[in-house]
Chain A
């Protein structure tokens, strides 16, 4: 069933559909309507967001949207690869591979579970592990029949991704510098607990407690106390 998008009035007084890509993916039966809505939004209202672009790539294999996404986020992915790849040429090669995976997997993007930027981050992360790390990194197999469906929805599941992203931004911004630093070393530099401990000269236990504290604050910000 097609649920109508939630229309907001922005500061300029124009209407825009806030989550077209989300609707697009939940209502594949109505792809013509979706395509029309997206083109309407692009032509008359606002430039497409990364979420809309990725939604389009997934829905209609739209090369133009894909190219825009590459121009917008390719340089970011390259910067991320260079954090542990060092060689610009090789980093660029892995960046290109990342986007080929983005193209091929775009149909799996679910805007209710992640923003486009977060989703592309996870693709880049996996590619960086595969190409730049020597040892294996066992990962959850999403097709494992053992996986049980999420039976009890949490408040978080009903929150808009954009709201979650805003809360996460605020929460990271509010962290004390020492906590933000270990989180950054973990995500961006890809350092293990031990490597962080060696890199900044703090005990292993302190690395763990700073990571835990930072996440606790985020849960608190989101009001998710489970």
Chain B
């Protein structure tokens, strides 16, 4: 898989810092599952964290801290037990051909089991529940050859292609690609004619999304 489109560096940096909120982390982690180049970028960004961390002034530990830790590493490992459970889980985990594992926790493994809701024009969506109010996550399924009506953005929009592909003006976005657009862009993604295009889409705060829905519906209801 050749990935040609990546999230902007600010997202990768914040992901490496551990300061990216849930919804955005879901998108970045899903992209990382498909993109070796960004995984290397994360390693580099973590080095920034290491350097800043090394530069911090120390906080004195209590005198018995070391003894406590040494006593605890002698205990039978709860974590090792859970690592074994994890291995067992890995062994039995049904492999999803479409969704990275981090995303399976939110949407299940099978595309056909997702409770898709039609939003018209053979475009379907599924809203993903997150506790994070700073952004909204959804899966989008655009039937082969269909188009999401032209829309602009009041905020940031991330689109990660999970299967199929879409054209957006001059660019082609295929599995693994992430389109990361800010306010200015107006676009009209069209799915490739061979297969449905399935994407993970993250948009800024829900209130901005409310304005996006009517835009989607406008051409279909003829206003």
Chain A residues near B (Cβ < 8 Å): 63, 66-67, 70-71, 74-76, 78-80, 82, 88, 91-92, 95-96, 99-101, 103-104, 113-115, 117-122, 124-126, 128-129, 134-141, 143-151, 154, 156-157, 164-165, 168-169, 172, 183-184, 186-195, 205, 207-209, 211-212, 214-216, 218, 222, 224, 226
In-complex Cβ contact of B22 among A137, A205, A214 (8 A): A137
User: What are the residues of chain B within 8 A of A189 when measuring CB–CB?
Assistant: 19
Q: How far is the CB of A212 from chain B (nearest CB, A)?
A: 5
User: What are the residues of chain B within 8 A of A120 when measuring CB–CB?
Assistant: 50
In-complex Cβ contact of B19 among A104, A156, A191 (8 A): A191
- Given A114-B50, A212-B10, the answer on whether A135 and B17 have CB atoms closer than 8 Å is no
Given contacts A80-B53, A104-B80, A121-B46, 8 further A-B contacts (CB under 8 A): A66-B73, A71-B66, A75-B58, A103-B73, A119-B50, A144-B100, A172-B48, A192-B21
Q: Are A117 and B54 in contact, with the CB atoms below 8 A?
A: yes
Closest A residue by C-beta to B87: A143
Q: Are A190 and B17 in contact, with the CB atoms below 8 A?
A: yes
Task: Confirm or deny: B47 has a beta carbon within 8 angstroms of a beta carbon on chain A.
Answer: yes
- Given A141-B101, A165-B47, A215-B45, the answer on whether A76 and B54 have CB atoms closer than 8 Å is yes
Report 23 cross-chain contacts, Cβ distance below 8 Å, ordered by A residue.
A70-B69, A76-B54, A78-B58, A78-B59, A80-B53, A92-B61, A95-B65, A96-B69, A118-B46, A118-B47, A119-B50, A138-B26, A145-B95, A146-B100, A147-B39, A168-B50, A188-B52, A188-B53, A190-B19, A194-B134, A211-B10, A212-B8, A222-B44
Q: Are B25 and A183 in contact, with the CB atoms below 8 A?
A: no
Q: Are B56 and A118 in contact, with the CB atoms below 8 A?
A: no
Give Cα distance in the complex from A113 to B59, angstroms: 28
Q: Are A146 and B101 in contact, with the CB atoms below 8 A?
A: yes
Pairs A-B, 8 closest by C-beta atoms: A118-B50, A75-B58, A211-B10, A215-B9, A125-B18, A79-B59, A78-B59, A144-B101
User: What are the residues of chain B within 8 A of A121 when measuring CB–CB?
Assistant: 46, 49-50, 53-54
Secondary structure call for the B interface: helix
Give Cα distance in the complex from A43 to B105, angstroms: 50
User: What are the residues of chain B within 8 A of A148 when measuring CB–CB?
Assistant: 1, 34, 36
User: What are the residues of chain A within 8 A of B13 when measuring CB–CB?
Assistant: 183, 186, 211, 214-215
Q: Are A140 and B69 in contact, with the CB atoms below 8 A?
A: no
Q: How far is the CB of B46 from chain A (nearest CB, A)?
A: 5
Task: Confirm or deny: B79 has a beta carbon within 8 angstroms of a beta carbon on chain A.
Answer: yes
10-65 of chain B: CB within 8 A of chain A: 10, 12-14, 16-22, 25-26, 29-30, 32-34, 36-37, 39-40, 43-54, 56-62, 65
